[in-house]
Amino acid sequence: MEQHIYDWLLQGVFAAAAAFFLILMFVSAPYGKQEREGWGPGVNMRFGWFILELPSFACMLWFYWQGEHRLAAAPLLLFTLFEIHYFHRTFIYPLQLRVKPGARYRVILLLFGMVFNAANGALNGWFLSQLGTHLHNSSWLSDPRFIIGIMLFAGGFALAKQSDAILRNLRQPGESGYKIPYGGGYRFVSCPNYLGEILQWTGFAVAGWSLPALAFACFTAANLIPKALSSHRWYREHFGDYPPGRKAIIPFLL
């Protein structure tokens, strides 16, 4: 990838994170509990998730394998973690969803998400196997940043997957309403799936000591913290018996 394109895309991801945070603090994204009219046409929810996440998986694969250091151990491990996450998100998660009848993924969200995911996959892939020279020496495998980052990624991944499974199991096949989730991270917060996702990408950024991964972690937090706050408000408004001590996304704090 040309350096000026890389620089331009990287600045774009940081700018998108800042813009999204400001917008989403005032306007909630129109899907799930905040689904509402007036946001244009939509596509089938499962298909929407599939084509939304595919560019991340594909662009990481393509750009990573262009890099000269694609067989070095640390980049290869980070590449594999990224691809495991996106393989699941693209090909498995959409099939597992218990979708409400008539639920649509808005085209406007989809288009932005696909462009963002393509840029994110490309930037991170190119950094891992080409630009991140500190990663290409095997000594990085014993660097504390790598070890702590991988542990954070693994913890976040486990929390996100457990929390998504708890949500999924709230609906029996054919059901479409909302219930209060209990157990796992839900003992502490309303959106442990979002907390897990933020921890995961923060860990990925620390393990790779990487600017594109930091930009993605910032974007994830900018996207999911406002969403957790609005989900938390929604639960409180709709369930009189909602657990009073539960926070939105950071246990005991927020």
Ligand X SMILES: NC(=O)c1ccc[n+]([C@@H]2O[C@H](COP(=O)([O-])OP(=O)(O)OC[C@H]3O[C@@H](n4cnc5c(N)ncnc54)[C@H](OP(=O)(O)O)[C@@H]3O)[C@@H](O)[C@H]2O)c1
Residues that bind ligand X (CB under 6 A): 32-33, 97-98, 100, 103, 160, 164, 167, 170-171, 178-179, 181, 193-194, 197, 220, 223-224
Q: Phi then psi for 171, rounded to 5 degrees?
A: -105, 130
d(CA 205, CA 216): 8
Q: Looking at beta carbons only, is 83 or 164 nearer to ligand X? A: 164
Q: How far apart are CB 178 and ligand X at their closest, in Å?
A: 4
Q: Looking at beta carbons only, is 67 or 181 nearer to ligand X? A: 181
Task: Kindly provide the b/e burial profile for residues 60-83, where b requires at least 16 CB atoms within 10 angstroms of the residue's own CB.
Answer: bbebbeebebbebebbbbbbebbb
Q: Looking at beta carbons only, is 7 or 175 nearer to ligand X? A: 175
Q: Looking at beta carbons only, is 143 or 162 nearer to ligand X? A: 162
* Nearest CA-CA partner of 48 in 89, 7, 8, 4: 89
Q: How far apart are CB 230 and ligand X at their closest, in Å?
A: 10
**Interhelix angle for 211-238 vs 192-208, to 10°?**
170
Contact 125, 63 (CB under 8 A): yes
Q: Looking at beta carbons only, is 54 or 72 nearer to ligand X? A: 54
What the block records as the tokens of 219 is 């974007």
Q: How far apart are CB 197 and ligand X at their closest, in Å?
A: 4
Q: How far apart are CB 97 and ligand X at their closest, in Å?
A: 5
Question: How far, CA to CA in Å, does 231 sit from each of 113, 148, 201, 238?
Answer: 20, 30, 21, 10
Q: How far apart are CB 63 and ligand X at their closest, in Å?
A: 19
Indicate the residue whose CB is closest to ligand X. 32
